[in-house]
Chain A
Amino acid sequence: MKFFEDIAVGQRREFGSFTFTAENIKAFARQFDPQTFHLDEEAGRNSLFGGLAASGWHVGSVCMKLLVAKGQQETAETLAAGGTPAVWGPSPGFRELKWHKPVLAGDTVTFDSVIETVRASEKRPEWGIVQARNRGVNQRGELVYSFLAIAFAPRRAAGSSG
């Protein structure tokens, strides 16, 4: 992960793909979102989604999974190169989350992120506030998911020599 000073508006990073299967869609739905169109193929076909559809929260959780994996990979690379990785703070929330199109069983979604705003935190001088548009695109190139994520990135001056 990067320090605040190294982040610029427009920077884009791709952080991986995930294939939604009938099995993983139903497993998540049974636990958190057992609406029939997330659990049953027939009910899915008869719904607005037109097929067995992943819970929107499943899509959001998978996006987080890939984002964390990417961050851990970047941290390992920085450590291997002898650098100091930045450790990001917890997120205060998000805005404008959109499930643009259904994610159906068999779909593979590729996620990326584009930095939209970067500013220093007035209340916490050791942190900067970053807003990024995280997006998911399916195997047909259709945007299926996006949201404006808000996160705290550490400032290099905050005590790290990296």
Chain B
Amino acid sequence: MTLTFEDFQPGHFGTFGPRHVTREEILAFAAEYDPQPMHLDEEAAKKSMLRGLSGSGWHLCSLMMRMLFDGFISRTASLGSPGVDELRWLSPLRPGDDLTLDVEVKEARVSRSRPGTGIVTFGMRVRNAAGQVLLESTSPIIVKRRDVAAAS
């Protein structure tokens, strides 16, 4: 059953994961997209503000996207997202972390420019197994309305 705009009502939507993150993944992403010493080198990382090897913030964003996909976007009539209102990296991503994603619907409204779609604004929170919050974000996603999705 495909989820449409009508399925997203303000309030808690779901909790997804856990997603285990390995040291190898952290190093591979950093080597490709964010080769700063604090993401690649144990010794340099110990001396950094983050005090130990940490994953790139963009890696954490990309992992959150994958958790959103696996959690519900894969079965949602999603048309994509126009952006991210705000995103905060609150604690570093560490090798071995088990990530959990909490998703809240902050607002859902029908699009004025595309009446067959709605804009659902999600609040996202990624935390580790110890309950420490790593990331908080607010982001809209464009979702088809049920009658439009049924017709297509």
- Which residues of A line the B interface, CB within 8 A? 28, 31-35, 37, 47-49, 53, 55-57, 60-62, 64-65, 68, 72, 89-99, 147, 152
Contacts and interface: CB of A to CB of B under 8 A. Distances in A.
Interface of B: 29, 32-36, 38, 48-50, 54, 56-59, 61-63, 65-66, 69, 73-74, 78-90, 92, 142
B38 A93 contact: no
Given A47-B80, A90-B50, A97-B84, A57 B35 contact: no
Contacts of A31: 62, 66
7 interchain residue pairs of minimum CB distance: A93-B88, A98-B83, A97-B84, A32-B62, A61-B33, A61-B58, A65-B33
A99 B33 contact: no
Nearest to B114: A48
A20 to B, nearest CB: 14
Contacts of B89: 90-93
B78 A90 contact: no
A99 B90 CA distance: 23
Contacts of A95: 85-87
Given A47-B80, A56-B81, A99-B81, A90 B86 contact: no
